[in-house]
Amino acid sequence: MIKHVFFDLDNTLWDHRANAKLTLEQLFDQYTIGQEYSLRFDDFHKEYFTINENLWAQIRDGEIDKDHLRKHRFYDTFLFFGVDNMELAQKFEEGFLDQIIEFNVLVEGAKELLNYLRTKGYTLHILSNGFMEVTNRKCIESGIDTFFTTIISADEINVRKPQREIFEYALQRANANPSESVFIGDDWIADIEGALAFGMRAVFFDVFNDGFTAPNVNSVHKLAEIRKLL
């Protein structure tokens, strides 16, 4: 019945949170933020994490664009700690995008799952809301690109998940029908509601125990659990 498996990339397969933390730690040391501003990395990271997640949710909801995110995620973080410095924030932003590609930690069990699905004969695809210029590079550098028949970024047509058009575009590119396709992702609205609305099956990778549920949606907390479903 199911022939095509579509994956979200960030935090579903490619561990953005782990890689972002490693990158931030490197920048924090590079600009000696701890000494200059008497900040602890863990505090800085925790605040950045919250601010960044909120900005990405606003992008998903069409409230802001990615220039706004790039201008604000570090500026707002520093500002939280009383450091009003746009120049420093922009150095962090540029350094972050340059340096995060040095790190390629995958979500636990990602490669094992992809191997399993390939062995079972499924055709695998990526549909990411991330920046087009980095999606391919992440797949290549982390060594998972060869698993996928198509790797699609929403940027290609400038429409993001959960909008119907991007699912339509992705399935067309993959030569797949919704009824023979399943979507696996960690964002309830973008990945799961988007896929369901397009008539696909969906598996929610519920990393943070958000507990969202819907009829016909399986939730897993570890990627390895998906073996029971496919």
d(CA 206, CA 187): 8
Residue type, 207: V
Which is closer to Mg ion, CB of 10 or CB of 155? 10
**Rounded least distance, CB 91 to Mg ion, Å:** 27
Considering only residues 15, 93, 155, 186, which one is a binding residue for Mg ion as defined by CB under 5 A?
186
- Cβ proximity to Mg ion, 89 vs 192, nearer residue: 192
Cα separation, 184 vs 161, whole angstroms: 13
Cβ proximity to Mg ion, 155 vs 186, nearer residue: 186
Q: x-or-dash pattern for Mg ion, window 1-20, by CB under 5 A?
A: -------x-xx---------
Q: Are 205 and 12 in contact (CB under 8 A)?
A: yes
CB count, 10 Å around CB of 129?
Answer: 24
Establish if 206 lies at the interface with Mg ion (CB under 5 A). no
Residues near Mg ion (CB under 5 A), total: 4
Cβ distance to Mg ion smaller for residue 89 or 154: 154
d(CA 114, CA 6): 11
The separation between CA 57 and the C-alpha centre of its own chain, rounded to angstroms, equals 12
* Minimal distance, residue 56 CB to Mg ion, in Å: 9
Beta strands 148-153; 217-220: pairing state: unpaired
Token pair recorded at residue 168:
């339509």
23 in Cβ contact with 48 (< 8 Å): no
Least distance in Å: CB of 12 to Mg ion?
A: 5
CB nearer Mg ion, residue 8 or residue 206: 8
Q: Whole-number minimum distance, CB 190 to Mg ion, in Å?
A: 7
Q: Please, are residues 14 and 126 in contact by the beta-carbon 8 Å criterion?
A: no
**What is the footprint of Mg ion within residues 56-85 (CB under 5 A)?**
none
Report, in Å, the least distance between residue 27 CB and Mg ion.
Answer: 23
Catalog residues that contact Mg ion under the rule CB under 5 A. Answer: 8, 10-11, 186
